[in-house]
Amino acid sequence: MASRIHKPSTGPGHRIRLYSRLAELAWRTGPGIALLTMFGTLLSAAAPLAVVSVVGALAAAAPAVARDGLESAAGHHALLWVLAATVLLFLQWTASTVRTAGATALGLRVDAALQRDLMAAVMRPEGIGHLEDARTADLLSVGRDTFRAAWGRPGRLATTLSGLVTSWLVVAGAVVALVHFDPWAGLAVAAAGLWVAREERVASRTEAAHHYGNAESSRRLEYLYALGSDPTAAKEVRVFGLSGFLLRAFSATWRESMRSVLTPIPRRPTLATGTLAVAVLGSLAWIAARAVDGQVAPGDAAIYIQSLMLVLTGIQQSAWTGLQTELALATLSKYADAVDAVNGCADGGSAGGAPIAAPTRSISFENVSFRYPNADADSLAALGLEIPAGRSLAIVGANGAGKSTLVKLFCGLYEPTKGRIAVDGVDLAGADKKSWRRNIAAVFQDSTRFALPARANVGFGRVEAMDDEAGMVQAAAEAEIAEDLAALGAGWDTPLSAEYTDGTDLSGGQWQKVALARALFAVRHGARVLILDEPAAHLDARAEARLHERFLELTEGLTTVVISHRFSTVRRADSIVVLDDGRVAEQGTHDELIKRGGRYAHMFALQAARFADSDSLDSEVVADR
């Protein structure tokens, strides 16, 4: 795998890059909404400052109105100020509504765009090595987890940042007003406010870092919770009496993860807040004394006091939104790291190169070695193997011998570390993997159970041909699952998942037949290479026996690779390969290998004896002894 180790980004420039990434996303997904949100933000900040001036003017006019009455010129002016204040308050309310609605809509779009970008990046490499790499998988889990928890969504930045900008504009405007009255008092309040804001930012960043710093214990907590509540684990949890263990482990992990959060009261933020309180109270006392002395007019005093209040509420609001911003920013940073890490994987090559048609001569493994990323040993070691086109090859071997690995390389999901795989002499490494895979139909050992309608589960064999209803039914009939699917509540439209109200789950054997039907549907639409990895593992004895009977018919004319621990499946193949420790240990037909009396003959005899002892239905195996 040619992948570079991705280092998470940090440093001062990193925040600027994150903000510009956010701005780019916002602009890309909703330029109109972005402009509206910015307009709402500016108006939300300007309106309260204007209200302060208007209320100041009202306070200034109050003595004259009290003296001359409402009918006087002063009274008319005061009424105009009241009207202006009402309009401004309405404007403030409208602006704040526009800002919140715009930011929410923008945030949802940003979140969706980020998810799409990450999905596209994850699916771009033709190989799957990046998905099995622990660090990349860790980064990718952010995508899944944060979208379940609203607080950490990167799109929340649209809301929190517009709130933060509003707060700071209001604070800045109010400080200008304070400085205008008395530069020293104004600057003292501003300096104390800045200190409080700085301490809050440090605390928010620590909290955000704690959240991701504890990713491992959080994951363990989630895992323990899932074990205790997940239906799939419920059987074993009960049978083995694991509930006490799980509850104790959950509590211990929770305590461990909370240790760094539950710290004593922090000194510096407390000192900063105390200093701000002293500055504000001192300013209030100062203005009150001057107002009593008649050195400051009542209107000016009103403006001064309101400005002080605006500074206080602005700083208080920015504390909460600041924390939310840091958390969402930390998630955005993880996203950026995940996309960069995935983009750094050149594993499996990308689409491009010469297209590869179905083999007409052979597929050959030439001295192929392969080591998984982060593994210390090779899973395939200088393996040489010729798979003749149009014939069937069975691969047998002990657990961990390298059978599934061979198939993954065959499908182009990994590149060999050494050697090459050639299709009719053409190296797969430089070829267009997509065109190669169109030739392949596969039933994997752990085939995917799509929580989608039955139709999709079969039709995904050739997604462009999903309107071929007759073909799907035919493929399902060949896999002996057509009747079961037709009998479902909504027939072929029934979602195959019990999590949907009208959906249903299938048994393990039925799922395996659906996977076979999917592969056979691909064969109907042009796939000429069939891979069967333990195709009968979940089948009952009768279904397995019928699959064996029809093996030749199903695989006729196809290049077939079948992996199985069941010799009744294996023996029907045209040739058999025994893998041992990533190497070919033996190769030949069933009869040749039995005659040779080597590893294959030994394994076959062992299994046949077991079947004979247990009175197996598989009389053929016994008969062959």
Which residue, 370 or 492, is less far from ligand ATP as judged by CB?
A: 370
| SS3 of residue 420 by DSSP | strand
Pick the stretch among 95-103, 186-194, 356-364, 402-410 that binds ligand ATP (CB under 6 A). Answer: 402-410
Q: Using CB under 6 A, pick the residue from 5, 134, 262, 375 that binds ligand ATP.
A: 375
Pick the stretch among 57-65, 343-351, 392-400, 541-549 that binds ligand ATP (CB under 6 A). Answer: 392-400
Token digits of residue 280:
């504000």
Q: Give the whole-angstrom CA distance, residue 298 versus residue 134.
A: 67
Question: Counting contacts by CB under 6 A, is residue 402 touching ligand ATP?
Answer: yes
Which residue, 402 or 495, is less far from ligand ATP as judged by CB?
A: 402
How much of the chain is helix, strand and coil, in % rounded to 5?
A: 65, 10, 25
Question: Counting contacts by CB under 6 A, is residue 41 touching ligand ATP?
Answer: no
Please work out the total of residues on this chain that contact ligand ATP, with binding judged by CB under 6 A: 12
Which residue, 399 or 501, is less far from ligand ATP as judged by CB?
A: 399
Pick the stretch among 108-116, 284-292, 399-407, 446-454 that binds ligand ATP (CB under 6 A). Answer: 399-407
Q: Using CB under 6 A, pick the residue from 36, 122, 401, 621 that binds ligand ATP.
A: 401
Which residue, 128 or 328, is less far from ligand ATP as judged by CB?
A: 128
Q: Using CB under 6 A, pick the residue from 257, 318, 405, 457 that binds ligand ATP.
A: 405
Least separation, in Å, of the C-beta of 567 and ligand ATP?
Answer: 14
Residues of 110-130 as b/e, b for ≥16 C-beta within 10 angstroms?
bbebbbebbeebbeebbbbbb
Q: Using CB under 6 A, pick the residue from 30, 173, 397, 471 that binds ligand ATP.
A: 397
* Cβ burial, residue 249 (10 Å; 0-12/13-18/19+): middle
User: Measuring CA to CA, how many Å separate 427 from each of 78, 357, 495?
Assistant: 88, 12, 41
Which residue, 130 or 403, is less far from ligand ATP as judged by CB?
A: 403
Is 593 within 8 Å of 572 (Cβ atoms)? no
Least separation, in Å, of the C-beta of 375 and ligand ATP?
Answer: 4
| SS3 of residue 134 by DSSP | helix
Question: Counting contacts by CB under 6 A, is residue 583 touching ligand ATP?
Answer: no
Is 147 within 8 Å of 339 (Cβ atoms)? no
| SS3 of residue 347 by DSSP | coil
Least separation, in Å, of the C-beta of 421 and ligand ATP?
Answer: 15
Site string for ligand ATP, 126-165 (x = CB under 6 A): ------x---------------------------------
In sequence order, what are the residues at sequence separation of 6 or more whose Cβ sits closer than 8 angstroms to the Cβ of residue 462?
Answer: 468, 521, 522, 524, 525, 526, 527
Token digits of residue 137:
């998988």
Q: Using CB under 6 A, pick the residue from 399, 425, 487, 615 that binds ligand ATP.
A: 399
In sequence order, what are the residues at sequence separation of 6 or more whose Cβ sits closer than 8 angstroms to the Cβ of residue 194?
Answer: none
List phi, psi (to 5°) of 107: -60, -40
Q: Using CB under 6 A, pick the residue from 372, 455, 585, 601 that binds ligand ATP.
A: 372
Question: Counting contacts by CB under 6 A, is residue 213 touching ligand ATP?
Answer: no
Question: Counting contacts by CB under 6 A, is residue 590 touching ligand ATP?
Answer: no
Pick the stretch among 17-25, 104-112, 395-403, 435-443 that binds ligand ATP (CB under 6 A). Answer: 395-403
Nearest Cα neighbor of 34 from 158, 208, 211, 153 is 158
Question: Counting contacts by CB under 6 A, is residue 400 touching ligand ATP?
Answer: yes
Least separation, in Å, of the C-beta of 409 and ligand ATP?
Answer: 10
Question: 446-465: which residues touch ligand ATP (CB under 6 A)?
Answer: none
Which residue, 10 or 399, is less far from ligand ATP as judged by CB?
A: 399
Q: Using CB under 6 A, pick the residue from 343, 404, 417, 587 that binds ligand ATP.
A: 404
Helix (H) or strand (E) run with residue 169 in it: helix 156-181
Question: 342-371: which residues touch ligand ATP (CB under 6 A)?
Answer: none
Question: Counting contacts by CB under 6 A, is residue 53 touching ligand ATP?
Answer: no
Pick the stretch among 335-343, 400-408, 585-593, 615-623 that binds ligand ATP (CB under 6 A). Answer: 400-408
**CA dihedral sign of residues 357, 358, 362, 365:** positive
Token digits of residue 14:
């990193």
Is 562 within 8 Å of 362 (Cβ atoms)? no
Nearest Cα neighbor of 346 from 404, 429, 267 is 429
Q: Using CB under 6 A, pick the residue from 53, 333, 379, 607 that binds ligand ATP.
A: 379
Which residue, 300 or 533, is less far from ligand ATP as judged by CB?
A: 533
Q: What's the 3-state SS for 230-294?
A: CHHHHHHHHHCCCHHHHHHHHHHHHHHHHCCCCCCCCHHHHHHHHHHHHHHHHHHHHHHHHHHCC
Residues lying near ligand ATP in the complex (CB under 6 A) are found at 132, 372, 375, 379, 397, 399-405
